[in-house]
Amino acid sequence: MIVRTHSWRIFPFVAGVAAALAGLSCDESLPPRESLPPVLGSQVSIVGLGEAVVIRGGVPAGTRGAIELRVTNLYDEVLQDSFVLEGRAEIWMKDNPVVRVEIPLTIDHVVTTGLLRGRLLTIGIDTTLIMRRQWDHRTDGGVPFWDYLELLPGATMDGERFCLSDTTTFVARCSLRIFKSYGQVQFPDLEFRQVYQVFGIECLAKTD
C-alpha cells in the first residue's frame, strides 16, 4: 500500500558519531557545531492516507491509519551503536486538541529488523530505519475517535451495513531515541485528514 509522506527534517550532528570519533586523540576536539554535516533525516507518514480506516469489532482491520517513522543515515559513514529504540507518537484532533492519545513506540515496531544484530543497531550510508505501528484509534481515555465525528449510514455491495464518519484533521507529533549515546530524534509535525468506516455499530450522533 502506498504511503504518502511529509517532508524530511534534517538534524545537525550533536552527539558524535562513533565511527568518526574513533580517529580522534584525547587532545582533539570536535569542530564547531555549525561546521558539522547533517547526519540523520527523519520522516513521519500515515499508511493508506486518503483511504478510510476500516474498523471491525472496535479495532482497525489492516494497516490503514498506521503511523510510520523513518530515520535515514545522511552521513558519509556507517553509524553503529547499542540501540534504545524507544519513542512516542502524540496524535490529536486539530479542531479539538484535548481529544488525543499518546502511543508508545518500541523495538517491537521495527520493520527493518535486518539492521539489528544482538544489541547493536547498524545504519549504513543512505540506509533507513523504519518503524511502523497500528494503533487502536482511541483516546487515552479509551473513547473511539469516531465517536467525536458525525456518522452516516452506508452499506457494501453485499449489503453489509457500516457507519462512515466525517473527514477530520489530525496532528501527529513524534519523537524517537534510536542509539544509546544519541539524543532524541524529533520529527516534523504532520497534519493529516482521516475518515473512519465502522462496522457493527449504530450510526449515533457524535460525542460533545
> What H or E segment, with its residue span, contains residue 18?
helix 18-21
pTM: 0.80
Instruction: Render each residue's pLDDT in the chain as its tens digit; 208 residues.
Output: 223 333 344 444 434 444 443 443 444 443 443 434 568 999 999 999 989 999 999 999 999 999 999 999 999 999 999 999 999 999 999 999 999 999 999 999 999 999 999 999 999 999 999 999 999 999 999 999 999 999 999 999 999 999 999 999 999 999 999 999 888 898 999 999 999 999 999 997 666 6
User: Which three cell numbers mark 74?
Assistant: 545522511
Domain ranges of the chain: 3-20+37-199
Can you give the pLDDT at residue 208? Answer: 61
Interacting residues of 21 by C-beta distance below 8 A, sequence separation 6+: none
Strand ranges for 6-150 from DSSP E: 9-12, 38-47, 53-56, 59-60, 67-73, 79-93, 96-105, 116-117, 120-123, 128-133
Quote the CA–CA distance of 184 and 154 in Å, as a whole number.
44
Can you give the pLDDT at residue 182? Answer: 83
Quote the CA–CA distance of 176 and 86 in Å, as a whole number.
6
Can you give the pLDDT at residue 20? Answer: 45
Residue 109, phi then psi, degrees to nearest 5: -105, 10
Can you give the pLDDT at residue 55? Answer: 98
